[in-house]
Amino acid sequence: TLVEEMGGQLERTALSTNVKERLDFSCALLDADGNLTVNAPHVPVHLGALGLCVREIADALSLGPGDVIISNHPAFGGSHLPDVTVIAPVHDDDGTLFAYVANRAHHAEIGGVRPGSMPPEARNLAEEGVVIPPTYLFRGSESRMDEAVRLFREGPWPSRRPEENFADVLAQVAAVRRGIQALTDLGREHGAATLAEHMGFLRE
C-alpha cells in the first residue's frame, strides 16, 4: 500500500540504527480533516496522537502545496521529544487540499541533559532535548532546512548527533514526498474527490 511504500522509502534512506534497523517509525495517510485513515503495520504507539498532531499543526500554520513541516512538541500532538514528526499536505491540481501524509520516527539522540533524551530528573522540556515547534522544512518549493539544522545544533542542551538527526529527517522528508507523489498520481487517475470519498468509507 501507499503507506507501506513510504515506510520502505524511510527504511532504505535513513542513517541511524534506530530507524534503519530497529524500524522505530510509523507512516500514515490522513484525510483533509486530519483524521487517521490508513497506516502501515509499523510502530502503533506513534499512531495514537498522529491525527491530533496533524490537526494542531494545521490550525497553527498555513499549509500549502509543497509545504513540509517538522515538529516534536508535545503541545502539538507530540509524544516524547525523540519522536520527530514530519507532515505534508496533499493538494490536487487545482490546489485543493484532500489529504495529509505523515511519519514519526524515534531519534535515539536528540540532546538533553543525558544521552538518550529521557532524563528522569528533567524539570522542563529543554532538559529532555531539542524542542521543535511546528517548523517549515519546505515552504512551497523553497527549502527552510537551515532552520531545522539550527534547532538541532543550538539551545541549552543540543543534540550530540546532529548530522545523524538531519540525515534521518531528510529520509522522513523523502518518505512523505513518496506518499505525496503516489497520492497525487491516484488523484489524477481517479479524481481527488473520489479518493476523499473512499477515505471516508475506510474510516467508517
* Non-local CB neighbours of 194 within 8 Å, separated by 6+ positions: none
| Among 7-11, 117-121, 134-138, 168-172, the least confident range | 117-121
- Mean pLDDT for 26-52 is 85
Give the integer Cα–Cα distance in Å for 152 and 132: 9
**Which sign does the torsion angle of CA 81, 182, 139, 91 carry?**
negative
pTM higher than 0.85 for the full model?
yes
Q: What spatial distance separates the first Cα and last Cα of the chain, rounded to whole Å?
A: 19
Q: What is the pLDDT of residues 151-173, one digit of tens each?
A: 999 888 999 999 999 999 999 99
- State which amino acid sits at residue 43: V
Number of other residues whose CB lies within 10 A of the CB of residue 156: 11
Instruction: Kindly give the residue spans of alpha helices, DSSP state H, lying in the chain.
Output: 2-13, 17-20, 50-60, 125-128, 145-153, 162-190, 192-203
Q: What is the pLDDT of residues 92-116, one digit of tens each?
A: 989 999 999 999 999 999 999 998 8
